[in-house]
Amino acid sequence: MALNDDYLPCKSYENQEKDPKNPGFTIFQDKKTKKYYFALVDALGGLLLKSEGYADLKSRKNGIASVLKNKSMDGRLSIVKDKKKYFVVLKAGNNKEIARSCDFTSELDAKNVFEKINQKIEVTEVSGSVENQNILKSLEGFLNVGEYLDKARIWDSYGITGFVKFQAENGQYYFGVYNPDATLYLRSVGFSTEDERDNAFDLMESTILLEENYKIENFDGKYYAVLFEESEILAISPDFSSFIEAFVTTPGGRPKEVVGTIY
């Protein structure tokens, strides 16, 4: 995933700046190599995984997304023994190494780190900064997931889309976005008029593929992918039981869209 086999000593990753967009990660640029690095840390700031060097910020961002996507997948995380040292390695589906832990003289120490990495990332979230404040304050205004399904799809010049617009029994106007298997991807709040709904729909359509316009929010013990523009929520996903399940539905967590899909 990274460009070279150039991990820094573990000490270089300690006490670095928290990543405001990815709770549980720290980020920095090394003054000597001029490359960009990240680390996955525990709730107390202890180092769990460290990255190799990236030539630019976008590549590092992709590396963090890859950690989020792969760390909970079966077979991606393993404990490796090299001579008398043990360390934890995270690999992608193509067997490319993404990140690794410090080395340990005890296999038990490596297993402890392994278990911490498998814990939910949200335990390391820090409240207080504007960046980390929850923007999903309630579910008021959203219908139950099933009420967005089985609606007539919108057609455009290319054919059928994954979008729907409808008026609910409560008289409000809504839109929804379907996954390719016709399950619900995103849902809107209700609007008093069709014009208000259509304006929000147009904004949603222009931002739906932008990674930076998504946040994963924890509300009442459930996780939601939230599409937003500045402080305005455009749409939210159905609920998920974990951070990673919600994250992999977003553009930053799933494989790049293939031209010709319903989106």
- CATH code of the domain in which 110 resides: 2.30.29.80
219 vs 44: which has the higher pLDDT: 219
pLDDT at 99: 95
Based on the fold, state whether residues 181 and 216 are members of the same structural domain: yes
Selection from 106-115, 179-188, 250-259 with the highest mean pLDDT: 179-188
**Is it the case that residue 230 has pLDDT exceeding 90?**
no
pLDDT band at 121 (very low <50, low <70, confident <90, very high): very low
Selection from 120-124, 174-178, 230-234 with the highest mean pLDDT: 174-178
pLDDT tens track for 154-208: 998 889 999 999 999 999 999 999 999 999 999 999 999 999 999 999 999 999 9
Average pLDDT score, the chain: 86
pLDDT at 43: 80
**Is it the case that residue 2 has pLDDT exceeding 50?**
no
Based on the fold, state whether residues 114 and 158 are members of the same structural domain: no
Based on the fold, state whether residues 73 and 166 are members of the same structural domain: no
Q: Is the separation of the CB atoms in 209 and 251 below 8 Å?
A: yes
pLDDT at 259: 46
Q: Residue 19 domain-assigned?
A: yes
pLDDT at 94: 83
In the chain, the number of structural domains is: 2
Based on the fold, state whether residues 113 and 25 are members of the same structural domain: yes
Q: Considering the chain, what percentage of its residues have pLDDT values greater than 70?
A: 88
Q: Considering the chain, what percentage of its residues have pLDDT values greater than 90?
A: 62
pLDDT at 119: 63
Based on the fold, state whether residues 14 and 78 are members of the same structural domain: yes
Based on the fold, state whether residues 123 and 14 are members of the same structural domain: yes
**Span 51-67, mean pLDDT?**
91
Based on the fold, state whether residues 15 and 124 are members of the same structural domain: yes
Based on the fold, state whether residues 80 and 110 are members of the same structural domain: yes
Note if the pTM is more than 0.85: no
Give the containing element (helix H, strand E) for 47.
strand 47-51
Based on the fold, state whether residues 50 and 115 are members of the same structural domain: yes
The torsion region of residue 230 among left (phi > 0), alpha (psi -120 to 50) and beta comes to: left
**Is it the case that residue 150 has pLDDT exceeding 90?**
yes
Based on the fold, state whether residues 28 and 95 are members of the same structural domain: yes
Give residue 95's domain range: 10-129
DSSP assignment of 7-44:
PPPGGGGTTPEE-TTSTTEEEEE-TTT--EEEEEE-TT
pLDDT at 141: 92
Based on the fold, state whether residues 150 and 125 are members of the same structural domain: no
Last residue of a domain, one of 129, 154, 178: 129
Q: Residue 262 domain-assigned?
A: no
Based on the fold, state whether residues 235 and 151 are members of the same structural domain: yes
Q: Is the separation of the CB atoms in 41 and 119 below 8 Å?
A: no
Least confidently predicted of 68-77, 78-87, 98-107: 68-77
Q: Residue 23 domain-assigned?
A: yes
Least confidently predicted of 2-11, 135-144, 159-168, 186-195: 2-11
Strands of 214-219's sheet in order across: 153-156, 159-167, 173-178, 184-187, 232-236, 222-229, 214-219
pLDDT band at 220 (very low <50, low <70, confident <90, very high): confident
Q: Residue 138 domain-assigned?
A: no
Rounded Cα distance between 235 and 164, Å, is 13
**Is it the case that residue 131 has pLDDT exceeding 50?**
no
